[in-house]
Amino acid sequence: MPGPALYGLGTEAAGDPSTDPTTAEPRAGTVVWLVAIVVVGIALRTWRLGFNGLSYDESFTAMAARMPLDRLFDHLRAQDSHPPLDYLLRAPFARAGMADAVLRIPSFVFSCGALVLFAWWMRARGLAGVVATAILAGGVFQIHHGGEARMYALLELLGVASAVLAERWLGDDSPRWCAWAVGGLVALALFDHVSGFLLAAGVFAVAGLRVDRRAWEWRIAVGAAVGLWALVWGHSFADQAGNNWVGWIPRTSPASFARAVSGQVTDVDPLAWFVLVGVLAGAWFLWRTDRRLAHVWCAVGAVPFVLAAAIGVVSPFLIARAVTVASWAPPLALGYVAAVVVARWSLPGRAVVIALVAVVAIGTVTFLAGKRYDSDLAVAHLEAVAQPGDVILTRPARYATLPAYRIGVERWRDTRWVATPGIDNAAAFRAGDADRSGRVWVFTPDSFELAFPGYEACPATADGRTAPWSDGVTHVVCLERAGG
């Protein structure tokens, strides 16, 4: 069994290392480290809030959230694969036409909540908890989705909270409300994202083969959450499942599984196998060190990954964000790797800790320093050149939400959709409430055609406003009807 240094910062800790860490007093040094790490993690998530414009998925969320409830549900059934909870949470911000950063605030709150809760959970686990919390605080996956106007940050929080409750429930003195509280968390996850089923399976597995009354209460609570989802959203889910929204996701393979696991830590693909090996080693060290926590890790942490991989064999499913509910599990395993190595070989162990920090930091720094979505520059250009009465046309039509929210809603407070005869697979809206100017700004993210029968290039202006524009990926051209 690993030495007592697991419960300190690489030094001998008083007491028996087999003592239950959930009831042990946290060391002052550990608490200071955890507080500092949480502060840094919150600062990184704050930075993430406004460092680029809305992605396609985020703009889809924003435009859908503006719809009345009946239209929203119909829209999600026909045009999406997700339940409605996240759209309802953002509806007040989207309907008010709030800025990009404001739309992301719910995600920021959920992600910070997950980090604070995880740090509290790790407070008595010494170096293992400190390293795991540092990975969760600074990992690109958590920061990315912690500042994205989508449903994944809530899944981060629900996953951590479910793991905390599961460990509490496994204790001999756990209150009966634990089962029903975790059932509520599972219900929220199911109404937030289809991967809530992965959390339901993991939480269900916590009871194992037990047949006592408390175990059946636990299973019934999870089953009640699934039943509620089936009653309220099951029929809509059946409609959504008939559409192919995930055809771009590859089927499960050893490489895709490694990327899904390592993606919770870093987005540097060449390191995927090294991270996976580290996580598996950490799971073994955890099992040797703390059986109750290992039980939770296997059920609530590992089962979602295994189940997602199994689903991905028969249907496209397995990517990193599909297992967000268990995104806490790889950092925790790596924390135990660091703690065990430091306990046995001090100097090499510290090198391992530094290497882990570097692996996490490389992906995060790269992401925060320069990542932009493909549409950012094009939408910014459209904002600069479009005038009241101009028509902004997106081709293909499915990308229309990109300029529609940022320009139509945020700038002009509404989108007035119009027809553009002669241009197929397109959606267009008029900027402002002025009469149509005759100018049509064609926005083509996928480099579709730039010329259409019946349309000609806008006359050149002295300021170059109507000149064709491209960033090499996206094109913006100004057209008007031929012959005026």
Per-residue pLDDT at 10: 36
Mean pLDDT confidence for 248-268: 92
Same domain, 278 and 392: no
Outline where DSSP puts E strands in 343-445: 391-394, 416-418, 427-430, 440-444
Same domain, 236 and 264: yes
Same domain, 336 and 464: no
pLDDT tens-digit readout, 396-438:
888 899 999 989 898 888 788 998 888 888 999 998 888 888 8
DSSP string across 245-265: S-TTSPPP-HHHHHHHHHTTT
Percent residues over pLDDT 90 in the chain? 60
Same domain, 380 and 334: no
Same domain, 181 and 197: yes
Residue at which a domain ends, from 370, 386, 418:
370
Q: Are 328 and 163 in contact (CB under 8 A)?
A: yes
Same domain, 119 and 220: yes
Same domain, 67 and 81: yes
Instruction: Please state the pTM of the whole predicted model.
Output: 0.90
Residue at which a domain ends, from 340, 370, 400:
370
The strand pair at 475-481 and 440-444 is best described as antiparallel
Same domain, 229 and 350: yes
pLDDT tens-digit readout, 363-395:
888 888 876 666 888 898 998 999 999 999 999
Residue at which a domain ends, from 370, 391, 416:
370
Q: Are 46 and 38 in contact (CB under 8 A)?
A: no
How many domains does the structure of the chain reveal? 2
Same domain, 305 and 383: no
Same domain, 346 and 437: no
* Domain span at 423: 376-481
